[in-house]
Structure 1
Amino acid sequence: MTKWIEQSGPDGDIIISSRIRLARNLQEYPFPVALTKGKSKEVIKKVGDVILEGNTVLKHDFLLQEMESQSALERQVLMEKHLISPNLMENHERSAVLLNKDESVSIMINEEDHIRIQCLLPGLQLTEAWDTADKLDDVLEESLHYAFDEQLGYLTSCPTNVGTGIRASVMVHLPALSMTGYINRVLQAANQIGLAVRGLYGEGTEFVGNVFQISNQITLGRSEEEIIANLKDVTRQIVQKERDARSTLLNSNRLGLEDKIYRSYGILSNARILTSQEFMTLLSDLRLGVDLAILENVKIEGLNQLMVMTQPGCLQKSAAKNLSAHERDVRRAAIVREKLGSKG
């Protein structure tokens, strides 16, 4: 079970998930970009041993997966579920991940940095995610020597992560702001106050289905608590603007909004071929319909599951074979029909 997919959290009508990621490096090794394969194996063992051998509470909750021993498809599925990064997936010969049972925590080893501690929870739970990540960081730091400078803080491969090494982010669904034409203004305002806005899978990915990832850009000169508090404050303002936009749509043209939502529901319930782009666009309408109680026979948790189940890697894993792009589009449509209760 993947917690952020299977469950809904606070403000789950707009905030899909909250993530805290901490970047750390070991003092006695070069950064991963300069690691030999032999040294990268040493780092994996050192980090893995702290969790699996040195802590009786954690050892039963975590499993170490070396990326080299996973198939390309298995690595892609982990990435599509947001449990590892595209970087870790691509650098599979020298990397690994420690995953806990409910997949709310992943410790990536030899990504851009030696250690990337990630906690991913449903809804707006930045403080809770930080508390978990911070505790794990303390466990690791008791046994490992971090690369740390008294003036700069934690040293990282990318200068933008130097300092606290923290990246806090929320994944938000903002359809009403898009429909009312205010989305660019909101995202530009976020950029102006030091926040980054990215697509579904982070840096370099496109915006699809009105889903955005908003995160801090500055890690130096502020405490972790200040960074998280700032992101929470801005997120709450964005949530309120989205709710106001939804009210405006309902009050000004409820019939037109219902028509748009039911048309999307009709297509998804009956389509025989669905591209990823089309599916995400129509899924956004369904999410909005559920949130506004227009669609009462659909659950938001089910839509979260569909968002991941219909990704290319997950489609091929469920089919137990490689699929062409057209075959994936056909299978995607079939899975969506089944999930929505229309199996014809």
Structure 2
Amino acid sequence: MMRFSTLIRNPADWMIGEGADNAVVLTSRIRLARNLKDQPFPGWAKKEQRRRALEIMRPAVEALPCMKDAFSQELDDLTSVQKQVMVERHLISREHAARGEGSAAVIERRQSVALMLNEEDHLRMQSIRPGMALRAAYDTLAAIDTELEGELELAFDHELGYLTTCPTNLGTGMRASAMLHLPALVLSDQIGQVLQAVNKIGLAVRGLYGEGTESLGNLFQISNQSTLGESEETILRRLERVISQVATHERNARDKLLEDDPAMVSDKIGRAYGVLRHAWIIDSKEALNHLSLLRLGGDLGFLPEGTVKSCDALLMDIQPAHLQLHSGRKLSPEERDSIRAEIVRGRLQSLEPPDIRSIRKNDSPDQEPDML
């Protein structure tokens, strides 16, 4: 089995976006909730019942073909910083990190598949892919789900579907989501109406770490809300349609900003570059917002190829728990802000200043999409 240090040493496949178009849609994620039949759900279970459920599930999960040489650990055996690093990497949830005895995580070595054992439900499985790839993420999990159904007896009702702790997950037990980078919609003040339209058709919009978190670095997560009475296919189709429409709105907003106010766009990207290259103290929020603009500069061609990849790696590496892991000790907020600035300066040391003249305008702008 893999050690924690080995797991975290390498960035996840989906973080690097190898070969995927992740200019607007960074990642696609599918999550399935399942429970064991005849076992009390984790929230109601006594300690020994949780341990019993773990003993039933863990061997079946570790035996999955994709989990060869995987990371498998009880959460009790991890430090709070290690758990927080896994939350920052979207490998486990904040709720799971807070749970004690009888909870475990099994994570594939490339970190694109992660299973939480005894979270809110007995099993929370997730698959993450770079770019717009909801189908690929779903197909991966569907195969794992089928495999586990052969080994475990799951709580299933012929009318209600899969039984879950929270009624909002009943039915398919599926949450599908995509993380989008929408700086131009934010800069042009269109983000409110676009997100309102998304909400109106029954989809949820959240911040970087899901429910109850704010949008940092112009990153927004769009996901389905209902899981009951609709097939996985219907949910995926709706989400794919809406996400591609939002992405088209973002691309059009980028074109329009460049056309109408190139000085403002150049100023924002130039200032972000200046601050990140020369700051000695920078908090998380400011760093994420400047990295978002630098990433936009990379997408628009102001900055060399590879800028987007550097920004994506930094988005993860400057998070509080990652900084503490990097330093090997607990840090005060002030120390974190200094170390964060030092890491960013170091990584961007050789990055050339933005070249405003390198912008190539598209001859034909994208067609306006339908409003959602």
Which amino acid in 2 is paired with 1:147? Answer: A
Checking the alignment, whether the CA contact within 8 Å between 1:269 and 1:342 is kept in structure 2 is no
1:183-332 matched pairs, under 5 angstroms: 183-296=191-304, 298-332=306-340
Aligned to 2:114: 106
CA deviations 1:165-210 (Å, max 9, x no partner) are: 0000000010100111110000011011010000100001111111
The aligned amino acid for 1:86 is R
Looking at structure 2, the residues matched to 87 and 9 of structure 1 have their Cα atoms a distance apart, in angstroms, of 33
Select the residue among 76, 84, 87 that pairs with 1:68: 76
CA distances 1:43-70 after superposition (whole Å, capped 9, x unpaired) = 22222111334x5x34524231110000
Question: For the Cα contact (< 8 Å) 2:87–2:97, is it kept in 1?
Answer: yes
2:21 is matched with which residue: 11, 21, 30?
11
For 2:128 and 2:78, locate their aligned partners in 1 and report how far apart those are by CA, in whole Å. 22
Q: SS where residue 43 of structure 2 aligns? A: helix
1:25 equivalent in alignment to 2:35: yes
Q: Which residue of 2 aligns with 1:35?
A: 45
1:94 Cα offset (Å): 2.8
| Cα distance between partner residues in 2 of 1:107 and 1:58 | 11
Q: What amino acid maps onto 2:61 in structure 1?
A: I
CA distance in 1, matches of 2:284, 2:309: 19
CA distance in 1, matches of 2:47, 2:159: 32
Secondary structure in structure 2 of the residue aligned to 1:32: coil
The question of 1:48 aligning with 2:58 is answered yes
Verify: 1:133 aligned to 2:141, yes or no: yes
Secondary structure of 1:94's counterpart equals: coil
Q: CA deviation at 1:298?
A: 4.6
Structure 2, unaligned stretches of length 5 or more?
A: 1-9, 352-372
Aligned to 1:151: 159
Report the CA distance between 1:10 and its aligned residue.
3.6
Select 1:163's aligned residue among 161, 168, 171: 171
Contact 2:67/2:109, CA 8 A, preserved across alignment: no
Stretches of structure 1 that go unaligned for 5 or more consecutive residues are none
Aligned partners of 1:280 and 1:59: how far apart in 2?
33
Instruction: Tell me how many residue pairs correspond in the alignment.
Output: 341
Q: 1:15-62 CA deviation, whole Å, 9 max, x = no partner? A: 111100000000121111011222212222222111334x5x345242
CA distance in 1, matches of 2:134, 2:69: 22
Checking the alignment, whether the CA contact within 8 Å between 1:310 and 1:332 is kept in structure 2 is: yes
- The separation in 2 between residues aligned to 1:145 and 1:222, in whole angstroms, is 23
**1:237-288 Cα distance to aligned partner (Å, 9 max, x none):** 0000000000000111113211210111110011000001111111111111
CA RMSD in angstroms comes to 1.4
Q: What SS is found at the alignment partner of 2:303?
A: coil
Change (3 A) 1:234 1:9: farther
Give the structure 1 partner of residue 363 of structure 2.
none
Measured in 1, the distance between the counterparts of 2:136 and 2:177 equals 13
Mean Cα deviation higher: 91-100 or 101-110: 91-100
Output the CA distance in 2 between the equivalents of 1:30 and 1:284: 44
Q: Distance in 1 between matches of 2:225 and 2:164?
A: 14
Shift of 1:299: 2.3
Verify: 1:80 aligned to 2:88, yes or no: yes
Q: Structure 2 vs 1, CA of residues 338 and 158 (structure 1 numbering), >3 Å: closer, same or farther?
A: same
- Aligned structure 1 segments of 4 or more residues deviating by more than 3 angstroms: 8-11
For residues 149 and 166 of structure 2, the distance between their equivalents in structure 1, rounded to whole angstroms, comes to 21
CA deviation after TM superposition for structure 1 residue 8, in Å: 4.2
TM, length-normalised to structure 2: 0.89
Aligned equivalents of 1:58, 1:38: Cα separation in 2: 29
Do the aligned partners of 1:169 and 1:215 also contact (CA within 8 Å) in 2?
yes
Question: How far, CA to CA, are the matches of 1:156 and 1:59 in structure 2?
Answer: 25
Whole-angstrom CA distance in 2 between matches of 1:59 and 1:180: 45
* In 1: Cα distance, 2:58 partner to 2:275 partner: 47
Contact 1:9–1:125, Cα closer than 8 Å, also in 2: no
Give the 5 Å matches for 1:325-340. Answer: 325-340=333-348
